[in-house]
Structure 1
Amino acid sequence: MRNATLRNAIYLLIGVSSVAWFSLAYLNGLDLSKVRDFFGLIPKVVSIDLLVIAAFVKWGWKYKIFRGWLVPFPDLSGTWVGCIHSDWKNPQTGEKPPPIPVMLTVNQSFFHVSCVMRTSEMESFSYSEGFLIDVDRQIKKVAYSYTSKPRLSLSERSIPHDGTAFFQIIEKPNLKLVGRYWTERLTKGEIILEYYSTELLEDLPNTIGEHPVTEHENRR
């Protein structure tokens, strides 16, 4: 998949360069059969190529038209809300907690993705992230390792720890992340998230449990 997208990117860049070369030659009345005219356009063509690449890396990669053949991964940027189903048991009662409301914010660019997960009791920050995409095998996943920092008031029963989260990316009929997590405290569980907003929220919304799909879906 990566080799195919790299090959397509090279072909597209060659096409952009060719169009730029002939367009500049036409506008400036140059004869490309002449070595001086041909090579004299190199700085301008390179500049155009760099501008096109910069625009693509900044904005273009997010558009659905490039998905699959040029951009192998989906755009997950924004805020996701849902619930954690943990296997942790209260040592005093032996009971599992009810589903825990949770919010995940994803800050994604063409080269990087970072994830922050929040509940009413903790915040976790990713430090190693990656996509696993194989269209032929119908695999669309994202995984990351994180450090979790519980609130200071809970330090007696919950200490900072590391863990890993692994999500299946569901785009149809609605945007959803379904996955699981495990931690060095030997706890694990399931996380189910639905897309909420293009904004990167900093606190759990009061409407958690209601998951309106925003304009983010329309650009996929």
Structure 2
Amino acid sequence: MNRASLTILVLLGAAIWALTLSGHGWVLPLSFFTPLSAVVSAVSVVILLWDVWLWRLGLLHPWPVSRPVLRGTWRGELTPAKGEARTIFLVLDQAFSRIETRTFTAESRSASIAARLDKVDGEFLLAAIYRNDPDLLLHDRSRIHRGAVCLWVHGPDPTELSGCYWTDRDTKGQLRFERVSRQLSSDFASASALAARSA
């Protein structure tokens, strides 16, 4: 929410509050609205803190916040419909209002173009559309491509994700992940190091 929208929302709330008080016989001076700018700034800070950090506090789960905290590095197994299973790492960068995915294998990396975490049939489902970039020297056998992934979230404090993927190269397969750290890795090597330390 930008500052203009937030200002309108706070002003609307203040106006409703003032009208309610007036209906109860209060006489309010125009100075009642003087702190508007300060209130908007304070609410902006609270919303930012909530979005980035506060909502993840354990004491707020599972009520009033039911959304699971997935932020961190996850080690998994990618099993294609044709071919051998291989190790893959999933890194989830999550705020209350958004979630972004990155994956790393020994030969490629991908990043989400769009991603959502929603409740479906009583369980949370992470769905994303991504772009995959294989290492430059492998482009002759593995071209840049796009794909989609759906991962079911298991439990309110999840340690496991599972689901499937498919791509515009007509490939598909299954995925299963286990959380190895709440830290965010930047590549395959750093994710492997985190996984080794957690073993």
The partner residue of 1:76 within 70, 73, 88 is 70
Q: Deviations over 1:83-123 (max 9, x none)?
A: 101123xxxxxxx22x2011011111122211110000110
Structure 1 equivalent of residue 175 of structure 2: 191
Amino acid in the other structure paired with 1:80: W
Instruction: Trace 1:34-183 onto structure 2 (pairs within 5 A).
Output: 34-36=27-29, 39=32, 42-43=35-36, 45-67=39-61, 70-88=64-82, 96-97=83-84, 99-134=85-120, 137-171=121-155, 175-183=159-167
Amino acid in the other structure paired with 2:139: S
3-state DSSP of counterpart to 1:205: helix
Task: After TM superposition, give the deviation of residue 61 of structure 1 in Å.
Answer: 1.2
Amino acid in the other structure paired with 1:183: T
Amino acid in the other structure paired with 2:111: F
Task: After TM superposition, give the deviation of residue 168 of structure 1 in Å.
Answer: 0.2
Give the distance between the partners of 1:123 and 1:195, measured in 2 at CA.
18
Task: After TM superposition, give the deviation of residue 206 of structure 1 in Å.
Answer: 4.5
Conserved 8 A contact 1:72-1:133:
no
Structure 2: give runs of 5+ residues left out of the alignment: 1-8, 18-24
Query: Which has the larger displacement, 62-71 or 193-202?
Result: 62-71
Q: Deviations over 1:163-212 (max 9, x none)?
A: 00100001368511101000111111111100111111122414758866
Structure 1: give runs of 5+ residues left out of the alignment: 1-9, 19-31, 89-95, 213-220
3-state DSSP of counterpart to 1:35: coil
Aligned residues: 174
% same residue: 25
Amino acid in the other structure paired with 2:184: L
3-state DSSP of counterpart to 2:141: coil
Alpha-carbon spacing, 1:149–1:54, altered in 2? closer, same or farther (3 Å): closer
Conserved 8 A contact 2:66-2:156:
no
TM-score (norm 1): 0.67
**RMSD of aligned C-alpha atoms?**
2.9
3-state DSSP of counterpart to 2:192: coil
The partner residue of 1:205 within 186, 192, 197 is 192
Amino acid in the other structure paired with 1:142: L
Conserved 8 A contact 1:106-1:200:
yes
Conserved 8 A contact 1:81-1:195:
yes
Conserved 8 A contact 2:112-2:128:
yes
Query: Which has the larger displacement, 66-75 or 54-63?
Result: 66-75
Alpha-carbon spacing, 1:190–1:42, altered in 2? closer, same or farther (3 Å): same
Amino acid in the other structure paired with 2:134: P
Alpha-carbon spacing, 1:196–1:157, altered in 2? closer, same or farther (3 Å): same
3-state DSSP of counterpart to 2:75: strand
TM-score (norm 2): 0.74
